[in-house]
Amino acid sequence: MNPELILIQIALAAYWGATILSFIYLAYKDERLNRWMLNLLGLGIVFHLASFGFRIHSFWQISENRYFLPINTFFGALSYLALAVCVAFFVIESRHHLGILGAFVLPWASLSLGIAVLIASPEISGLVPALQSYWINIHPVVLMTSYAAFGNAFGVGLALLVQEYQIKSRKPTPLCYRLPSIEELDSLNYRIIAAAFPILTVGIIMGGVWAENAWGRFWGWDPKETWALITALVYAGYLHMRYMMGLRGKKAVYVSMFGFACVVFTFVGVNFLSGLHGYLSKG
């Protein structure tokens, strides 16, 4: 069997293990669970990277693909997205000791990789001429990095809703004291989005420059482009509402979650609408 697939299945198992541990950690205050979760996650990331290495190696066997990243297919894109979410979480957690948020973030990464491994086809094919550009190493990578950050912000938002609900109910469970505070979650949510929003828009602009180069137009209202713009509009609305109108807490989270719904639709749903950007079409 292909070593790439073996490695990615180990990574998938590790991610799911870490996810399950993160849920147990929510219920039981046992610091060992947190440590194991992080170790498992780190292990998953290492195997995932190794698998990605093998994928690049076999991708480059086709000479036209040489020195482009294999993220042109649904499999490659989902796999990269899961990796980015996990790495972002790993970095944020180790800096802020927020392992408790694992249960709110890791399921999305595990799900993403799970869909990649179980449903998407890992087949490697040659890039169509339109994708044979150095932009493929930049434009989707930048965008998916911002998606990964938004995924983390979504998890933080979920945690805020849980925390807010608990405190409003006047019957907080022990979890309430272990989750970060409402204000911290609110500002973390905001800061992740404020950091990811410029990345998202830069990614969109890069897409425009590439499109100008490949198709002769900067902007063509292709569904993928349009939905990326909608996503940016929603997050811009969030930033304005928070900064200019003082919208915070629960309602701000709802807006940011709507933004994440747009991210998911841009990433998955648009494949059923778009001809140019579809992972499912020939591109």
Partner 1 sequence: MQIVVAGLSHKSAELALREKFALLSFSDIAQKIKSSPITDAVFLSTCNRFEIYASGFAGGVDGPEVLLSFFEDLIGKTSSREDIYLYSGLEAVSHLLKVASGLDSLVVGETEILGQVKEAYERAKSEGLTGKIGNILFQRALYVGKKVRSETGISVGQTSVASVAVELAQSIFGNLSESSILVLGAGQMAELMIRHLVTKKSPKILISNRTRERAEALARNFRAVVWPWENRQEALEEVDIVLSSTGSPELVITKEMVESSLKNRRGRSLFMVDIAMPRDIEEEIHHLEHVYLYRLEDLEHIVAKNLEGRSAEISKAKEIIESKTAEISQWFKALKEGRELSFKHSDRPKAPRTAAG
Partner 2 sequence: MKLFRSIRFNIILGALIAFFSALGTFFPQSPVSPNKVELYRSLHPLGFKILNFFGAFNLYQTWWFMGLLGLMAFDIVVCKLWNKPPDIGATALPPENTDEEEAEKRLSQKERALRLKPFQFSMDSSLSFDQAFKKASSFFEDHGYAVHDEFYSPSGAAFLATKHRLQRWGSYIAHIALVIILIGALIKALYGFVEMDPVMEGNAVAMKNRPWTLSVDKFTVHFYKGTFQPSLFSSALRVKAGDKLIGQKTILVNHPLDIHGVRFYQASWGAAGMFRTVTLDLGGTFLTLHQRVPKKVPGTPFSVTADILMPDFTVSNGHADTASLDLKNPAVRFLFSVAGKPTPPLWLFSLYPHVCLKESPDGTLEHAETPPFSLASVDPILFSGIQVAYDPGYPWVILGALLWVLGLILLFYLHRRRFWVLIEPRGEGETQFSIGAWSSRGGREFEREFNSLMGQMKSHLNIMEVPR
Return the range that interacts with partner 1 (CB under 8 A); candidates 13-21, 93-101, 197-205, 217-225.
93-101
CB nearer partner 2, residue 120 or residue 194: 194
Residues 117, 264: Cα–Cα separation, whole Å: 18
Closest CA to 113 of 143, 139, 140, 87: 87
Q: Mask 195-214, x = binds partner 1 (CB under 8 A)? A: --------------------
Is 282 a residue that touches partner 2 (CB under 8 A)?
yes
Q: Smallest distance from the beta carbon of 98 to partner 2, in angstroms?
A: 13
Q: Smallest distance from the beta carbon of 171 to partner 1, in angstroms?
A: 7
* Stretch 172-211 residues interacting with partner 2 (CB under 8 A): 187, 194-195, 197-198, 201-202, 205, 208-209
Closest CA to 276 of 119, 139, 80: 139
Phi, psi of 95 (to 5 degrees): -85, -35
Is 91 a residue that touches partner 2 (CB under 8 A)?
no
Question: Are 31 and 99 contacting, i.e. CB atoms less than 8 angstroms apart?
Answer: no
Q: Mask 144-173, x = binds partner 2 (CB under 8 A)? A: ------------------------------
Binding positions for partner 2, rule: CB under 8 A: 62, 64, 125-130, 132-133, 187, 194-195, 197-198, 201-202, 205, 208-209, 212-223, 226-227, 229-230, 233-234, 236-237, 240-241, 243-246, 270, 273, 275, 282
Binding positions for partner 1, rule: CB under 8 A: 28-32, 34-35, 97-100, 163, 167-168, 170-172, 174, 176-184, 242, 246-252
